[in-house]
Amino acid sequence: MKFIDIHIHGGFGINFDSASANDINSFAQSAFQKGLLAFCPTLTGGTIEELNKRIENIHFAKKSQKENEAAIIGANLEGTFLSKKKPGVQNPDNFLEPTIENFKKIAGKYEDDIKIVVLAPENRNCSEFISYLKSKNIKVHFGHTTTNSLIGADCINHLFNAMEPMTHKKETLAIKALLDKEIYTELIADTKHVCTDVLKLTFQTRPKEKIILISDALPIANSDSEKIEFCGKTVLKTGYDENGILGGSVMLLPDIVSNLINKGIITEDEAELMAYENPKNYLKLML
C-alpha cells in the first residue's frame, strides 16, 4: 500500500524543527522503506531566523533527493499563525499575526518551498493574507483556532484537535467541517487523538474523497527514545508532555492505517483513497 503524509513533524528520532538537510534526507530514506512515497515536513513555531533556516534546509533536502527516498513535497508551516487560545503543545509566544509581511519574512527566498500554511483566521481580518497564499498556490488550512467559519479554508487542520469541541448547544468548526461536502479535512486516526466512535462517525458522515489521513507524527515515532524535547517541552513516548497535553502521534501513517484496517474501521480500498489518492489529488502531485 502507498502513503502520502502531508502533516508530519518527524520520526526515527529526527525532528524537522532542528533537522539538517542531510537529516531530512535520512528520514526520507527510512520513511520510503515504510511505504511512505511523499511527505510535507511540518514545522512548529520559532523565531523568524529559525524558521528561515528550517525552510532553507527543506529546500536543500529537496534538491538532493535520491530514488530511494520519499519525495519531499514542501513545508507545512503549522506553528506560526495560530490562536493563543488553542496552542496545543506549541509555544504561543512564537505565534505571529497572519499577515503577508510576516509570511514573507519567514519564507525569505524559499517561498516556493512552502506548500501549506495553517492559520487561525480569528486573529485578525486576514482575508488579504489568505488571498495572497492562494495566489502562490499555497494551501490554506484552518487550525489551532476558535473560529466556526470555513470561509477561505482549503482544508481543516487535524479535525477535532486544537479547536472548539462538538456540542449540541452551538455551531463549531468541527461540526461545520463534518457537514461540508466540499472542504478537505485532515484526520489523525491513531485512535488516541480521536476516539474510535468519533472516527466511525466521521467516516460515515464525511465524503471519503475529502478525508486526508495524516500522522502528525512526533520525532519519537519509530525510535527507541523514551522522551524527546519538542516545542521546548519534554514529550514522552506516549505522545503526551509532562503536563498531560497530547503533542502529536507516536505512530507513522502506515502503522495508523494498518491499525484501522485490522480493527475493521476502514477497508483497504478506503485506506488507499484517504492515505494516498486524496492527498495526491489535493496537492496535485505527480507521483
Write the pLDDT tens digit of every residue in 93-138.
Answer: 999 999 999 999 999 999 999 999 999 999 777 999 999 999 999 9
Mean pLDDT value across residues 56-82: 97
CA atoms within 13 A on the CB side of 93: 3
Q: State pLDDT tens for residues 133-192.
A: 999 999 999 999 999 999 999 999 999 999 999 989 999 999 999 999 999 999 999 999
Q: What is the CATH number of the domain that holds 242?
A: 3.20.20.140
Is residue 238 predicted with pLDDT exceeding 80? Answer: yes
Please choose, from the candidates 157, 192, 189, the residue with its C-alpha nearest in 3D space to the C-alpha of residue 173.
157
Residue 179 falls inside a structural domain: yes
In a domain, 287, yes or no: no
Per-residue pLDDT at 243 exceeds 90: no
Tell me whether residue 86 is in a domain.
Answer: yes
Tally of structural domains, the chain:
1
Q: Does pLDDT of 3 surpass 80? A: yes
Q: pLDDT-based confidence at 245, cuts 50/70/90?
A: confident
Cβ contacts of residue 131 below 8 Å, gap of 6+?
none
Strand partners, 4: 38
How are beta strands 233-236 and 227-230 bridged, if at all?
A: antiparallel
In this model, does residue 242 exceed pLDDT 90? no
Q: What average pLDDT does the segment 261-283 reach?
A: 98
Q: Which domain holds residue 194?
A: 3-282
Residue 72 in any domain: the answer is: yes
- Is the whole model's pTM more than 0.85, yes or no? yes
Q: Is residue 203 part of a domain?
A: yes
Whether residue 55 is contained in a domain is answered as yes
Instruction: Please check whether residue 236 lies inside any domain of the structure.
Output: yes
Domain contains 206: yes
Half-sphere CA count of 254, side-chain side, radius 13 A: 16
